[in-house]
Amino acid sequence: MTLVVEAASEIPDGVRVRARPVATGLVAPDGAALAAAPAAALQGFSGAVGETATIAHEDGSAEILVGVGTAADLDGETCRLAGASLVAAATACEAVVLDASGLAGGTLDPAGVAQAIAEGVLLASYRFTRQKADPKPAALGRVVVVAPEVAATSSGVGRAVVTAGAVSCARDLVNTPAGELTPSAFAEIAAGYGNRQGFSVAIWDEKQIFAAGLGGLAGVAQGSAEPPRLVRAEYGPEDPRAPTVVLVGKGITFDSGGLSLKSADLMMTMKYDMSGAAVVLAVLGACQGLGIGVRVVGFMPMTENMPGGRAIKPGDVVKVRNGRTIEVLNTDCEGRLVLADALCLAAEESPDAIVDVATLTAAVVVALGRRIAGLMGNDDRIVAALQRAAARAGEALWWLPLPWGYRPSFDSEIAEMKNLGVAREAGALVAGLILEEFVGATPWAHLDVCGPAWASETTGYLRQGGTGFGVRTLLELLAGYEPLRSPAAAGATGRTMLK
């Protein structure tokens, strides 16, 4: 059953379960007193974010109280979590009405409230059941968001449906077994998705990849029986003068580490190493539905990283798209090799900005954990714009430096650079510095999503498995995009460190 979320100005007939937001202190978010309720139903319920309490009435109807925390701290993420907790509390209900009339205020307008609630509801209801012989359908099939401003509420719900659909697309791709989602299969899916969602797709096979000088992508692919693919996607708005933003997504459909083999434990989730490509494809698919006014180009280099008989060896050298050579000392640092080629292609588009998304380093997980992505870049304006977009989307980013003083750590004696720096030192930062070598003067930002792209357990609106992290942030960035025309502010990119 597909969950339907809709907007209304009043409670529709026939829906016998009503949900009501409750702030800390057991009051409505607008300060109104909570109607009397049985003490047993409220036991342990304080109105904190994520809490729920169900009150059953004698006539068979019910009321679900949904905690939203302190009224003064109400924001979009609170509303998403409230929507998610409602789904958890209403699993046995066929339909629920959520009264959102008292939630707007401060930084949240009615459309923003409705969008955030609906996103939480839809993302929390996500299930990946394709591999199950007899999946149990969810009972909850309809959620009605009620507020007086029905036009704004309907607009917000509509945007949430498109956004959550994109996130679910990315999650589906990441959750698909690597034996099924090969580079060729991903390319075929991308072509079909583009036809349905209103963007164009071009696919390069291994011969075209070789002819185009994509030596990083071709080199990583050598060890796999599956041929590589380069997927280029493009969405164009009606305005031909619109700025261009290029998105690049790492697409390693399975990462064994190559000859620098990972441990068995680390390989268990390595189908998720194409999360960046999944995010980029999903974002392209939502552009038309959200009316994005920016030309968006996506590059997705797709391959497996396997230890076959032809696999690239430690000490080998590859030549990437722009003619630069990289000495490969660790074949498990393959992401930067395939991204080098894709970033060169991105820069050739002469875009206003480039943003890459990649599950690039375990080092960023050591630094920031599983809930925060690393953010780096060569231009303060695009980095700051991503921070603002992530704050609106509820996806946590942390701005990390790119210190010039670490650049010599990946100098090579036999090539122009190595594919890693000093072992166990600043791994995420050095990886970012390596990527920067291939964007030229184009404003560029890098999202290392190695931590939050995969959830080890179900919490809030995240389901165990692929999360689609980055889709909402990039859509927020594109929806409110302002061309980068003024000079970058000096001294705030980490360049003041380690001259």
pLDDT tens digits, residue range 239-252? 989 999 999 999 99
Distances (CA, A) of 149 to 9, 18, 72, 100, 155: 7, 19, 22, 10, 10
Q: Is the pLDDT of residue 219 over 70?
A: yes
Beta-sheet pairing, 316-319 with 251-255: unpaired
User: Is 64:90 a contact under the CB 8 Å cutoff?
Assistant: yes
pLDDT at 496: 45
Nearest to 78 by CA among 65, 66, 96, 87: 66
pLDDT at 74: 86
Say if residue 210 is in the same domain as residue 296.
yes
For residue 31, name the pLDDT band (cuts at 50, 70, 90). Answer: low
Q: 289-343, pLDDT tens digit by residue?
A: 999 999 999 999 999 999 999 999 999 999 999 999 999 999 999 999 999 999 9
Within a domain: residue 171?
no
| Residue % of the chain over a pLDDT of 70 | 93
Q: Tell me, what's the pLDDT at 71?
A: 79
In this structure, the answer to whether residues 340 and 415 fall within a common structural domain is yes
47, 69 Cβ separation under 8 angstroms: yes
Q: What mean pLDDT comes out for the span 71-75?
A: 84
Kindly state whether residues 87 and 200 are assigned to the same domain.
no
Q: What is the pLDDT of residues 291-303, one digit of tens each?
A: 999 999 999 999 9
Instruction: Tell me which residue has tokens 């923003």.
Output: 112
493 within some domain: no
Local confidence band at 1 (pLDDT 50, 70, 90 cut-offs) = low
Q: Are residues 101 and 250 in the same domain?
A: no
| 135 plus 201 within the same structural domain | no
With a cut of 80, say whether residue 18 has pLDDT above it: yes
Domain boundary residue, one of 153, 186, 201: 153
Angstrom CA distances, 14 to 19, 150, 497, stand at 15, 19, 64
Beta-ladder partners of 203: 231
pLDDT at position 32 is: 58
| Domain co-membership, 87 together with 22 | yes
Phi-psi region of 394 (alpha: psi -120 to 50; beta: other; left: phi over 0): left
Residue-range definition of the domain harbouring residue 81: 4-153
Residue ending a domain, choose from 121, 153, 185: 153
- Residue for token pair 């960035």: 477
Residue 117 lies in a domain: yes
- Mean pLDDT over the full length of the chain: 92
User: Model-level pTM?
Assistant: 0.95
Establish if 159 belongs to a structural domain.
no
Tell how strand 396-399 and strand 372-377 pair up.
Answer: parallel
What is the rounded distance in angstroms from the CA atom of residue 483 to the CA atom of residue 498?
31
Tokens of 273: 């190493």
Using pLDDT thresholds of 50, 70 and 90, give the confidence band for residue 35: low
Please, which pLDDT band fits residue 485 given cuts at 50, 70 and 90?
low
Q: Are 341 and 324 in contact (CB under 8 A)?
A: no
Active site residues: 262, 336
Total domains in the chain come to 2
Do 293 and 434 have their domain in common? yes
Query: What distance in Å separates the CA atoms of residue 28 and residue 94, rounded to the nearest whole number?
Result: 25
User: Does residue 195 form part of some domain?
Assistant: yes
CB atoms within 10 A of CB 480: 13
Please indicate, yes or no, whether residues 438 and 303 belong to a single structural domain of this protein. Answer: yes
> Does 322 reside within a domain?
yes
Note whether 245 and 320 are same-domain residues: yes
Residue type, position 226, single letter: E
222 and 90 in a common domain: no
Residue 92 confidence (pLDDT): 87
Nearest to 383 by CA among 394, 398, 364: 398
Which CATH number does the domain housing residue 63 bear?
Answer: 3.40.220.10
Residue 334: Cβ within 10 Å count:
29
Q: Is the pLDDT of residue 282 over 70?
A: yes
Closest CA to 227 of 243, 247, 204: 204
Instruction: Read off the pLDDT band of 60 (50, 70, 90).
Output: confident
Residue 212 is assigned to a structural domain of this protein: yes
Tell me the per-residue pLDDT of 344-360, one tens digit each, with 9 for 90 and over: 999 999 999 999 999 99
Question: What is the pLDDT averaged over residues 130-146?
Answer: 86
Instruction: Give the HSE-up count for residue 460: Cα atoms under 13 Å, Cβ half-sphere.
Output: 18
Output the six-digit token pair for 65.
């109280």
Residues 386 and 419 in one domain: yes
Is residue 164 assigned to a domain? no
Q: Kindly state whether residues 146 and 189 are assigned to the same domain.
A: no
Query: Which CATH number fits the domain that encloses residue 194?
Result: 3.40.630.10
